[in-house]
Amino acid sequence: MGERAARRGATELLKWRRKITPREKGPRDLVTEADLASQEAIYREIRTSFPHHELLGEEDPVDMQDRRVALDGYCWIIDPLDGTTNFVHDLPNFSVSIGLMHAGAVIAGAVYDPLLDEMFSAGTGLGAKLNGDVIRCSNCSNLEQALIASSFGTNVPRGSVEVARFIEVLHTSQAVRRLGSAALNLSYVAAGRLDGYWATNVKIWDIAAGFVIASEAGVTISGLEDAEVDLYHPRFVASATPTLHEELKKTLKDAVRPAS
């Protein structure tokens, strides 16, 4: 169901592709229309088969976004367009992300890149797949050899913690990328295209599907400050191996540690 719904949403997005000029006045209004068209198509598809399931999408009113999903219910967590800036600029690397939550945990997910026609999917205990083929994360265990991605806010000030972390990992790893779609970043770690990823400025709909895909592919995930990841306020690190995970977390901590 998640895969089919993601394709429905992507069909709506592609109708809007190249209709939005990124430098025109008020492009956000047109992006919102594309978002809403995608989300409504996804909602219709899911409601056909699961009329009693909860739905939580990025374009829902704020008071709905802030609610906690009932622990004993099913809820679909939907990002109808992850990678908005890329989409507006017609830059490849945007996706539709759909996760299914039950009892406080994401149990299934689908992330679809319509330009590459790549469908990443997973279910708890069923493994992770790309277009039906099983995927696994890389075996990279050394940060110096790792390709890392990051997500943080767009207008961070000079000298901020976010910039310090980025620079520290940039100097310690093989390379760092800031690609624009959190859902695809997690999927790429799952598929071995990236070795690690950290994020401090994402929402539940950005990462719900990606979390189960990455986990089922063997990726190690933890909170940025060693705490358990709160899906409603996610700040996390995801790495291909436990050894790399510890090294990446240490590097991120060292970036903000006061000089002695």
pLDDT confidence bin for 154, thresholds 50/70/90: confident
Enumerate the β-bridge partners of residue 82. Answer: 95
d(CA 230, CA 260): 32
pLDDT of 26 reads: 45
pLDDT of 66 reads: 53
Q: State yes or no: pLDDT of 213 exceeds 80.
A: yes
Which residue spans of the chain are classified as CATH 3.40.190.80? 143-254
Please give the mean pLDDT across all residues of the chain: 90
| Higher-pLDDT residue of 68, 12 | 12
pLDDT confidence bin for 159, thresholds 50/70/90: confident
d(CA 105, CA 113): 24
* Mean pLDDT, range 198-203, rounded to an integer: 94
- For domain 143-254, which CATH number applies: 3.40.710.10, 1.10.3720.10, 3.40.190.80, 3.40.309.10? 3.40.190.80
Q: State yes or no: pLDDT of 118 exceeds 90.
A: yes
Q: What is the pLDDT of residues 26-63, one digit of tens each?
A: 445 557 788 999 999 999 999 999 999 999 998 886 55
Q: State yes or no: pLDDT of 6 exceeds 80.
A: yes
Give how far Cα 232 sits from Cα of 19, 42, 55, 74, 184, Å.
33, 21, 15, 16, 19
pLDDT confidence bin for 25, thresholds 50/70/90: very low
pLDDT of 258 reads: 61
Q: State yes or no: pLDDT of 172 exceeds 90.
A: yes
Which residue spans of the chain are classified as CATH 3.30.540.10? 2-135
Q: What is the pLDDT of residues 218-253, one digit of tens each?
A: 999 999 987 789 888 899 999 999 999 999 999 999
Q: What is the DSSP string of 65-127?
A: HTSPPPTTSEEEEEEEEE-HHHHHTT-S--EEEEEEEETTEEEEEEEEETTTTEEEEEETTTE
Is 56 in contact with 69 (CB distance < 8 Å)? yes
Predicted model pTM: 0.93
- For domain 2-135, which CATH number applies: 3.30.540.10, 2.60.40.2250, 3.40.50.300, 3.40.605.10? 3.30.540.10
Give how far Cα 104 sits from Cα of 14, 75, 201, 232, Å.
33, 9, 21, 11
pLDDT confidence bin for 156, thresholds 50/70/90: confident
pLDDT of 1 reads: 80
